[in-house]
Amino acid sequence: MKKKTLVLLLAMSMIFTFALGACSKSGGSGGDEGGDDATLKVVTEATFAPFEFTEDGSEEIVGFDVDMMNAIAEDQGLKIEWVNMEFDSLIPALESDQGDIICAGMNKLAGDRAEKADFGETYFESDLMLLVAADSDLSGIDAVTSDMKLASQIGTTGGDMVQEMAKEGKIAEGIVLNQWTDCYMQLQNGDVQGVIVDKPVGEAYLKAHSDIAKFAGDKFGDHEEFAFAVKKGNTELLDKLNTGLANLKESGKYDELVDKWFS
């Protein structure tokens, strides 16, 4: 009798051990689930032309960041898909495993971002500018008065700046909106006297709207370094992205994309 019980207990412990091992293999966070061939979610905010934007009512996201990250993914054998969301949802998306990579013209030097996500090598540099109506006599950011309103996008360096300026009483109101296109509309309608925007993005806007808007003054605020980001601790993925970017620069593909989107 005793022998039978022993064999039964041994068999049960072997089954239990096997089952435990099988569960841990299917675990993992973010893009790891399902093994190496999982599709990674690249999260972005697609009203930031020429980095990421949609055109003529299409859902398709295009732009420099899209071409660059697609080329990096191809170089590194990664499967990616693009997910459009509000800018201030991007880092929370990494933290909650709703996204695997941020590629959104995000300044890696700003605020506490680097405490919440791991940023890669810089892929573009920028500064902030003030966009005003073409007939405005505002000479620059230092000439704004306390009766004025400025707009920018929520959660961005420009958005933080207009809110800070309002808090300090430098302007009457700092309006932060979800989409850059809404900020431009506020300027066109005369609802705000200026929009704080990233220089290359303002330049893209002025290419098509120099009849109704212009830059006032020179760059201001902190110099920006755009970088992609991954969830804190995901060094394996970040190394792949950094290697892919280095390969793009080495092969000339990076310069080709800069010419395509910024010449």
Interaction site with ligand GLN (CB under 6 A): 45, 48, 87, 104-107, 110, 153, 156-157, 198, 224
Q: Which is nearer to ligand GLN, 157 or 186 (CB)?
A: 157
Q: Which is nearer to ligand GLN, 75 or 99 (CB)?
A: 99
DSSP state of 63: S
Q: Which is nearer to ligand GLN, 75 or 200 (CB)?
A: 200
Q: Which is nearer to ligand GLN, 75 or 229 (CB)?
A: 229
Q: How many residues does the chain have?
A: 263
Q: Does residue 149 sit in helix, strand or coil?
A: strand
Q: Which is nearer to ligand GLN, 45 or 75 (CB)?
A: 45
Residue 22, both tokens? 């099988």
Residue 214: CB minimum distance to ligand GLN, A: 20
Residue 198: CB minimum distance to ligand GLN, A: 5
**How many C-beta neighbours within 10 Å does residue 30 have?**
19
The separation between CA 89 and the C-alpha centre of its own chain, rounded to angstroms, equals 10
Q: Cα–Cα–Cα angle for 109, 145, 191, nearest 5°?
A: 85
The rounded distance, in Å, linking the Cα atoms of 198 and 82 is 22
**How many C-beta neighbours within 10 Å does residue 210 have?**
10
Residue 226: CB minimum distance to ligand GLN, A: 6
Residue 106: CB minimum distance to ligand GLN, A: 4
The rounded distance, in Å, linking the Cα atoms of 227 and 149 is 30
Alpha helices for 26-77 (secondary structure H): 64-76
Residue 21, both tokens? 């091992």
Residue 170: CB minimum distance to ligand GLN, A: 20
The answer for residues whose C-beta is within 8 angstroms of residue 248's C-beta and 6 or more apart is 68, 71, 72, 75, 254, 257
Cβ proximity of 63 and 86 under 8 Å: no
Q: Which is nearer to ligand GLN, 106 or 238 (CB)?
A: 106
- Cα dihedral 120, 122, 126, 127, rounded to 10, equals 60
Residue 240: CB minimum distance to ligand GLN, A: 23
Q: Which is nearer to ligand GLN, 61 or 75 (CB)?
A: 61
Residue 166: CB minimum distance to ligand GLN, A: 18
